[in-house]
């Protein structure tokens, strides 16, 4: 059977559904294909479930600290089955919402199954061949499972299977000291598990500045998370019902023995089973689809959006990809990927909010810059809440006075970063923000104070 459409979208992640609905509303006969769960990674195994669990973990953390606030709580017990049920309910509402939205949109047909290219304008889903002049790929990524010695003999978890746990691991070993691994590590520590993080590099979250990595290490260690850095060679072996993790290249793994093993060591693009070769679509060496500034692939009429194009790895970058493509196609726009200011957050608690360049980026760039830092222990709001961990940092171009980048590690860091981000997007000098009157008592009211401390960036990082 063969069906003709104006547009086909593969994947219902963070750009596909919005684009499909927009195209259908513009009068294009549109098809969207999903092989698994509506809403993709963020909704089902990424942002939404993890942040829902982070919220439960924070309640457990605060309950244990209740006496610090003069509130006496008699013992804290975390019921993992209820924690999971709460998470499942939030996820279900989101995934069902996406499915209903897509299936209820006129001019849009939903196909459930695996899509594979058969040519530049043809995609097969089961028995049906879909044809269209425009095809948009939003297939996302999946957890990368590295070929660690001994992996075949042990059970391991990924971000997806972690979310199915409804009991507390006795000792969770997390391989990978970056965003996903650290969020799981802290939440499970707060649920009551012993947690060890193993990182091959010399510090956590290597893409951040060293002082950010060091502060995060301190926050996690203060909560009792064990962190093993410089694990040059990770080996695995079964030890009864536990898993042994070796860090020192010995034949017999020694050192750490955990009840559960989570592998959180990056992502793999879902392009290996998409038939891209039949369409002639090029990828890079890691399998990410190569796109231009407008997210067009090398094949006319085929675009790639979301994580799979390697131009972002976040829900907001994927959604922004949709906005770029829709504006250029339907509104005569001239939008480009490089117009956006990079921004993201790490959802440990307190969170890290990031915008623009890091200090390392600025140093590599070689421009004259100013820098300022302020510890969260100076921030009234943080003191009132007895949560003074972390610091703020901002970098400014010495000549143009434009903000180059910022990191806010501290309570509300994920929200506060937006006042800086928005000034960067407006391409305004930092003085606009420095002179703004902010509300008291908030964390944001200290951004002008931070900017008042700008000084030339020294020769070497602190």
Ligand X SMILES: Cc1cc2nc3c(=O)[nH]c(=O)nc-3n(C[C@H](O)[C@H](O)[C@H](O)COP(=O)(O)OP(=O)(O)OC[C@H]3O[C@@H](n4cnc5c(N)ncnc54)[C@H](O)[C@@H]3O)c2cc1C
Query: Applying CB under 6 A, which part among 135-143, 227-235, 387-395, 426-434 lies near ligand X?
Result: 135-143
Residue 10 binds ligand X (CB under 6 A): yes
The count of chain residues that interact with ligand X, using the rule CB under 6 A, is: 38
Length of the chain: 462
Residue pair 332/326 in contact by the 8 Å Cβ criterion? no
Comparing every residue's Cβ against ligand X, the nearest one is: 140
Query: Applying CB under 6 A, which part among 7-15, 241-249, 282-290, 331-339 lies near ligand X?
Result: 7-15
Which residues contact residue 62 at a Cβ distance below 8 angstroms, ignoring those fewer than 6 apart?
none
Residues 254 to 273 in contact with ligand X, rule: CB under 6 A: 270
Shortest separation between residue 414's beta carbon and ligand X, angstroms: 9
Residue pair 13/68 in contact by the 8 Å Cβ criterion? no
Shortest separation between residue 248's beta carbon and ligand X, angstroms: 29
Residue 382 binds ligand X (CB under 6 A): no
Which residues contact residue 428 at a Cβ distance below 8 angstroms, ignoring those fewer than 6 apart?
402
Using CB under 6 A, pick the residue from 9, 53, 140, 371 that binds ligand X. 140
Interface map 88-127 toward ligand X (x if CB under 6 A)? --------------------------xx------------
Q: 174 exposed, middle or buried (CB, 10 Å; 0-12, 13-18, 19+)?
A: buried
Residue 316 binds ligand X (CB under 6 A): yes
Residue 297 binds ligand X (CB under 6 A): no
Shortest separation between residue 77's beta carbon and ligand X, angstroms: 26
C-beta closer to ligand X: residue 37 or 330: 37
How far apart are the C-alpha atoms of 337 and 317, rounded to whole Å?
Answer: 9
Residue 203 binds ligand X (CB under 6 A): no
C-beta closer to ligand X: residue 33 or 175: 33
Query: Applying CB under 6 A, which part among 22-30, 45-53, 195-203, 250-258 lies near ligand X?
Result: 45-53
C-beta closer to ligand X: residue 14 or 388: 14
In 3D space, the residue among 122, 126, 136 whose CA is nearest the CA of residue 9 turns out to be: 136
Query: Applying CB under 6 A, which part among 225-233, 249-257, 312-320, 324-332 lies near ligand X?
Result: 312-320
C-beta closer to ligand X: residue 140 or 258: 140
- Can you give the three-state secondary structure of 179-246, one letter per residue? HHHHHHHHHHHHHCCEEEEECCCCCCCCCCCHHHHHHHHHHHHHCCCEEECCCCECEEEEECCEEEEE
How wide is the angle at C-alpha 413 spanned by C-alphas 411 and 414, nearest 5°?
125
Shortest separation between residue 315's beta carbon and ligand X, angstroms: 4
Using CB under 6 A, pick the residue from 5, 8, 15, 196 that binds ligand X. 15
Residue 307 binds ligand X (CB under 6 A): yes
C-beta closer to ligand X: residue 329 or 457: 329
Residue 47 binds ligand X (CB under 6 A): yes
Using CB under 6 A, pick the residue from 5, 8, 9, 14 that binds ligand X. 14
How far apart are the C-alpha atoms of 356 and 330, rounded to whole Å?
Answer: 29
Residue 288 binds ligand X (CB under 6 A): no
Q: 101 exposed, middle or buried (CB, 10 Å; 0-12, 13-18, 19+)?
A: middle
Start-to-end Cα distance in the chain: 65
In 3D space, the residue among 151, 146, 145, 116 whose CA is nearest the CA of residue 130 turns out to be: 116
C-beta closer to ligand X: residue 46 or 390: 46
Catalytic residues: 440
Residue 341 binds ligand X (CB under 6 A): no
Residue 180 binds ligand X (CB under 6 A): yes
In 3D space, the residue among 295, 293, 268 whose CA is nearest the CA of residue 281 turns out to be: 295
Using CB under 6 A, pick the residue from 132, 139, 374, 409 that binds ligand X. 139
Residue pair 10/138 in contact by the 8 Å Cβ criterion? yes
Shortest separation between residue 270's beta carbon and ligand X, angstroms: 4
Q: 160 exposed, middle or buried (CB, 10 Å; 0-12, 13-18, 19+)?
A: middle
Q: How far is CA 76 from CA 105, 226, 397, 455, in A?
A: 47, 22, 49, 46
Q: How far is CA 307 from CA 77, 241, 288, 312, in A?
A: 38, 36, 8, 6
Residue 172 binds ligand X (CB under 6 A): no
Using CB under 6 A, pick the residue from 159, 283, 388, 444 that binds ligand X. 159
Q: Which helix (H) or strand (E) holds 364?
A: helix 359-365
Using CB under 6 A, pick the residue from 36, 58, 65, 278 that binds ligand X. 36
Interface positions with ligand X (CB under 6 A): 10-15, 33-37, 40-42, 45-47, 50-51, 114-115, 138-141, 159, 180, 270, 274, 306-308, 313-316, 318, 347
């Amino acid at each position: 059977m063969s069906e003709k459409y104006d547009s086909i979208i593969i994947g219902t992640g963070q750009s596909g559904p919005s684009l499909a609905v927009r195209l259908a509303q513009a009068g294009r006969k549109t098809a969207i294909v999903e092989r698994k769960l509506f809403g993709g990674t963020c909704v089902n195994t990424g942002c939404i479930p993890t942040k829902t669990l982070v919220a439960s973990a924070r309640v457990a953390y605060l309950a244990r600290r209740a006496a610090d606030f003069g509130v006496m709580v008699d013992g804290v017990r975390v019921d993992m089955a209820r924690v999971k049920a709460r998470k499942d309910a939030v996820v279900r509402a989101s995934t069902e919402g996406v499915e209903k939205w897509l299936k209820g949109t006129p001019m849009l047909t939903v196909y459930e199954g695996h899509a594979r290219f058969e040519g530049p304008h043809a995609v097969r889903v089961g028995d049906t061949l879909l044809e269209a002049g425009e095809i948009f790929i939003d297939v996302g990524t999946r957890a990368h499972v590295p070929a660690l010695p001994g992996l075949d003999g042990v059970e391991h978890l990924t971000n997806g299977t972690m979310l199915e746990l409804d009991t507390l691991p006795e000792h969770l070993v997390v391989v990978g000291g970056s965003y996903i691994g650290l969020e799981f590590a802290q939440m499970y520590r707060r649920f009551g598990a012993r947690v060890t993080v193993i990182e091959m590099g010399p510090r956590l979250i290597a893409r951040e500045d060293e002082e950010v990595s060091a502060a995060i290490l301190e926050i996690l260690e203060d909560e009792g998370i064990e962190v093993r850095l410089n694990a040059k060679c990770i080996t695995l072996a079964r030890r009864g019902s536990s898993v042994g993790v070796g860090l020192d290249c010995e034949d017999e793994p020694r050192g750490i023995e955990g009840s559960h093993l989570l592998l959180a060591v990056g992502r793999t693009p879902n392009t290996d089973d998409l038939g891209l070769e039949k369409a002639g679509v090029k990828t890079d060496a890691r399998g990410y689809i190569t796109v231009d500034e407008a997210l067009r692939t090398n094949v006319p009429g085929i675009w790639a959006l979301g994580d799979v194009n390697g131009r972002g790895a976040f829900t907001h970058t994927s959604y922004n990809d949709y906005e770029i493509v829709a504006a250029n196609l339907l509104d005569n726009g001239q939008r480009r990927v490089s117009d956006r200011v990079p921004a993201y957050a790490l959802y440990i608690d307190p969170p890290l909010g990031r915008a623009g360049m890091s200090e390392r980026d600025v140093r590599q760039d070689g421009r004259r810059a100013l820098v300022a830092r302020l510890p969260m222990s100076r921030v009234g709001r943080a003191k009132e809440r007895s949560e003074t961990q972390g610091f703020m940092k901002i970098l400014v171009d010495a000549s143009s006075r434009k903000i180059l980048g910022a990191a806010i590690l501290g309570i509300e860091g994920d929200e506060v970063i937006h006042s800086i981000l928005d000034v960067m997007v407006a391409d305004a000098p930092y003085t606009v923000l420095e002179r703004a009157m902010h509300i008291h008592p908030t964390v944001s009211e200290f951004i002008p104070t931070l900017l008042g401390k700008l000084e030339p960036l020294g020769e070497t990082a602190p």
